[in-house]
């Protein structure tokens, strides 16, 4: 039943191929903390079907000596480590002992068990936050953990699945191929169909140990909140994390999550989701398709990081069902075809629609420096109480984020945004909703992996184009209202923001363009084809309506400017004065004419695949008066009658879907109808008002 050692590049469920304790040594956790579940000390907690803090509290209140022993063990273990660090500083050898203390901390976490290992894993993928020596050591917690006894593991497989090993599998590795904090993985071959599978077996007593540690940590969280007068309910945040951890320990639920995840995202280009075998899975044993690959953090493939960002955004903002534990051990490059494989679906999250929309709005308002609206977004997301003084919050957010945002969206990092936010959060009673840490972590981990080999990588730079496309095409009433507010201020159209959104959205990867060998279009119709594609579909109907309205306003203003020029010339040749109030050009008309000019310039630039190297600053109405509006009208007429400018559009039309072509054919009639309505309304208003 031995598969042999084979390739060293095995990785699954948070681990690599690891050496087993062949000499019979007991793993550190069992040796150091085994008293927690030996002799039935915590048997009740071991068989809880879900996270229930009331039930856990009831269990451990009846076991004060066990709780006290564990509390002392945790306190003395960390106390000795901190004392060593303090002595190092007194003896001025902190730098010399840095790597030693980092290794000691990793061993301490392994000894204390899964709860502490999981907490450490949450911060082990941030090279911009964690010192390098600690980062290296903590990353080892994602794998290379000493496995427990194979005899115990095989016994659990037979007990959980109700069959002898020989009946289930024709082959199975004699030692685990991977070991993690919650369980370990064996490679096997199903006797029924010969498929190579991974068999994940849960560590005995792990739920009991985690339950006890959560009980203690929850008590400490309450003390810290009261002592520090914090606004965030630390116990609620811990409960959310603990609840997801309990779900992770239910392998039956993990298999269902895997099936759902595969259904939602398995069709994405260069994304691989392993198959689950529900009929061979129980609460403590999981059988799934074997994946052979290398950790994403080791292959240093920035393209796969981009694939991961796209997939994560689809998870968070499209469907709201997301992988909440994407540490490097759970993200692999499949050796066979180079795809990005997701593993370990135990810790998943749900992101409600209103929160998804709120998150998108917050990103838009942040990038566009609308800090007053950002303060409202923080209330929507639950970061600020509704009673917060929004005027003062806006000023504080401006002070915190202004420098970071001034670098441009492509240069904003999570580190920039966190800046001095801590003091601001404390002052204005910020609170961290229970869902928030998991959502942010799912993106922060990807940025952490990427900057490990490309320090300049910014996940927001990769995310914002997707968000820009989303807000331009989404049918959500909330996002459409946000777009309307973003593009108009006091009735005036803000052309710079439309150009920013369009330019960024064209950088976004779509499901069709998510290919490793994608060649960027260099033809003159490359980007205009993308614009036409999404503005002529149902998804782009809202933006299409806005653009039509602005074109109508501009063409109407162009007509007025032309008539004004004609009547002015004619009047200058007549001996009498002719009133021209019906054709006079107002400041609003000048603004509309300038917007039309900018729209035509944008169209021309997109056709030439040009993008502005820096943010474009558009003149106000007052500044526009410096350029005579008649000259502006002449420039607009020149662009509108230039065949060369419209040729790329004409060549792109045959390549559009038939529905888009039909919509394009309807545009002239729509434009004419709107133009006529506006002209009639304006004439009536000027004649009778």
Positions marked catalytic:
325
Q: How far apart are CA 308 and CA 342, in angstroms?
A: 9
Q: Which two tokens stand for residue 601?
A: 């310039």
Q: How far apart are CA 213 and CA 71, in angstroms?
A: 9
How far lies 393's CA from each of 402, 429, 576, in Å?
13, 10, 62
Q: Which two tokens stand for residue 394?
A: 């806006």
Q: Residue 126: phi, psi to the nearest 5?
A: -120, 85
Question: Side by side, which strands form the sheet with 331-334?
Answer: 271-272, 340-342, 331-334, 293-295
Look at residue 138 and give its three-state secondary structure. Answer: helix
Q: Which residues contact 327 (CB under 8 A, 6 or more apart)?
A: 14, 121, 124, 125, 142, 445
Give the closest residue to 604 by CA, choosing from 524, 669, 507: 524
Q: How far apart are CA 203 and CA 147, in angstroms?
A: 9
Q: How far apart are CA 456 and CA 50, in angstroms?
A: 42
Look at residue 434 and give its three-state secondary structure. Answer: coil
Q: Residue 169: phi, psi to the nearest 5?
A: -130, 140
Q: Residue 172: phi, psi to the nearest 5?
A: -155, 140
Bridge partners (DSSP) listed for residue 186: 199
Q: Which two tokens stand for residue 612?
A: 């502005």
β-pair type (488-489, 492-493): antiparallel
Q: Are 178 and 11 in contact (CB under 8 A)?
A: yes
Q: How far apart are CA 562 and CA 565, in angstroms?
A: 5
Q: Are 14 and 140 in contact (CB under 8 A)?
A: no
């Amino acid at each position: 039943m031995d598969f042999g050692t084979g390739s060293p590049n095995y990785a699954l469920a948070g681990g690599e191929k690891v050496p087993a304790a062949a000499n019979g040594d007991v793993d550190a956790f069992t040796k150091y903390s085994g008293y927690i579940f030996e002799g039935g000390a915590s048997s009740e907690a071991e068989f809880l079907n879900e996270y229930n803090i009331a039930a856990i509290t009831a269990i451990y209140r009846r076991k004060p000596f066990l709780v006290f022993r564990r509390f002392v063990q945790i306190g003395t273990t960390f106390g000795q480590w901190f004392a060593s660090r303090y002595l190092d500083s007194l003896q001025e050898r902190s730098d010399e002992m840095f790597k030693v203390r980092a290794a000691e901390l990793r061993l301490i976490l392994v000894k204390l068990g899964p709860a502490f290992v999981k907490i450490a894993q949450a911060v082990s993928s941030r090279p911009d936050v964690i010192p390098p020596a600690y980062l290296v050591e903590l990353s080892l917690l994602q794998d290379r953990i000493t496995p427990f006894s194979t005899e115990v593991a095989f016994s659990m497989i037979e007990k959980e699945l109700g069959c002898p090993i020989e009946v289930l599998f024709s082959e199975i590795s004699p030692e685990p191929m991977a070991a993690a904090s919650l369980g370990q993985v064996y490679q096997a071959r199903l006797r029924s169909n010969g498929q190579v599978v991974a068999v994940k077996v849960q560590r005995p007593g792990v739920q009991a140990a985690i339950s006890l540690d959560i009980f203690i940590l929850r008590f400490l969280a309450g003390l810290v909140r009261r002592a520090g007068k914090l606004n965030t309910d630390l116990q609620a945040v811990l409960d959310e994390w603990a609840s997801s951890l309990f779900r992770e320990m239910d392998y039956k639920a993990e298999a269902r999550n895997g099936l759902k995840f595969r259904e939602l995202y398995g069709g994405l280009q260069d994304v691989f989701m392993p198959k689950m075998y529900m009929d061979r899975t129980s609460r403590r044993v999981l059988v799934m398709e074997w994946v052979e690959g290398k950790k994403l953090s080791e292959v240093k493939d920035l393209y796969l990081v981009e694939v991961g960002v796209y997939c994560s955004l689809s998870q968070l903002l499209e469907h709201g069902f997301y992988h909440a534990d994407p540490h490097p051990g759970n993200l692999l490059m499949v050796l066979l075809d180079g795809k990005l494989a997701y593993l370990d679906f135990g810790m998943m999250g749900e992101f409600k629609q209103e929160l998804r929309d709120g998150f998108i709005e917050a990103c838009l308002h942040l990038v566009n420096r609308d800090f007053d609206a950002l303060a409202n977004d923080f209330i929507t997301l639950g970061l600020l109480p509704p009673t917060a003084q929004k005027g003062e919050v806006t000023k504080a957010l401006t002070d915190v984020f202004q420098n970071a945002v001034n670098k441009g969206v492509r240069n904003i990092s999570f580190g920039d945004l966190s800046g001095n936010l801590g003091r601001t959060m404390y002052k204005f009673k910020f609170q961290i909703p229970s869902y928030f840490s998991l959502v942010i972590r799912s993106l922060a981990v990807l940025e952490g992996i990427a900057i490990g080999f490309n320090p300049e990588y910014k996940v927001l730079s990769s995310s914002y184009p997707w968000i820009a496309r989303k807000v331009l095409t989404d049918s959500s009433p909330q996002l459409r209202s946000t777009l309307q507010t973003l593009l108009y201020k006091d009735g005036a159209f803000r052309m710079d923001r439309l150009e920013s959104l369009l330019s960024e959205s064209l950088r976004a990867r779509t499901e069709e363009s998510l290919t490793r060998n994608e060649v960027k279009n260099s033809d003159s119709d490359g980007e205009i084809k993308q614009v036409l594609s999404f503005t002529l579909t149902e998804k782009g109907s809202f933006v299409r309506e806005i653009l039509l309205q602005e074109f109508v306003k501009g063409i109407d203003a162009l007509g007025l400017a032309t008539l004004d020029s004609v009547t002015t010339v004619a009047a200058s040749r007549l001996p009498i004065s002719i009133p021209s109030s019906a054709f006079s050009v107002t400041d609003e008309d000048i603004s509309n004419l300038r917007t039309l000019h900018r729209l035509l310039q944008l169209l021309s630039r997109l056709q030439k695949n040009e993008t502005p190297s820096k943010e474009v600053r558009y003149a106000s109405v007052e500044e526009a008066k410096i350029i005579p509006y008649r000259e502006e009208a002449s420039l607009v007429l020149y662009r509108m009658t230039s065949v060369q400018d419209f040729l790329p559009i004409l060549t792109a039309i045959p390549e559009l879907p038939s529905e888009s072509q039909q919509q394009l054919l309807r545009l002239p009639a729509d434009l004419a109808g709107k133009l006529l309505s506006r002209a009639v309304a304006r004439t009536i208003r000027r004649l009778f008002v």
